[in-house]
Amino acid sequence: MTHQEILRLLPYEKPFLFVDDLLEVTKDSSKGTFTFDRNLDFYRGHFKENPVTPGVILTECCAQIGLVCLGIYLMRKEELEKSNILIGMSSSEMEFLKPVFPGERVTVVSKKIYFRFQKLKCEVQMYNAKKELVCKGTVSGMLKIEVDG
């Protein structure tokens, strides 16, 4: 499955799509980027005069690149094209080390811990453009295919 096919199958769209480019996907890992546009609505209220990307949004970006893109890659392509992908994040444990400001580009690197019984668990790390670790942790979720009639 190509990177573009995976991106097309993501069940998100702007303004809640936090994947610009998928750089690499294997059976054990994924890597992608996202640039936080200065005009994203949450910046207007998240710290007056000094906007910072909320941790929950950083976690979502890590989950979309590190969990959902990898999960789509691990599922069978033939089934995906005739179905809806149902995804539910079941847990996350993140540590935030540096702020991400409006306009910053980040890279998310994910390594699969396990994928069994439709549950995927990954170790994720997010880096800024200076290659500094921004946040790290684990995310897990359930991935299910709902086949169309």
Active site residues: 46
Q: Rounded to whole angstroms, how far apart are CA atoms 63 and 117?
A: 19
Which residue shows structure tokens 């079941």? 90
Q: Rounded to whole angstroms, how far apart are CA atoms 126 and 62?
A: 7
Q: Rounded to whole angstroms, how far apart are CA atoms 79 and 16?
A: 25
**Cβ neighbours around 91 below 10 Å, total:** 10
What SS3 state is found at 40?
Answer: coil
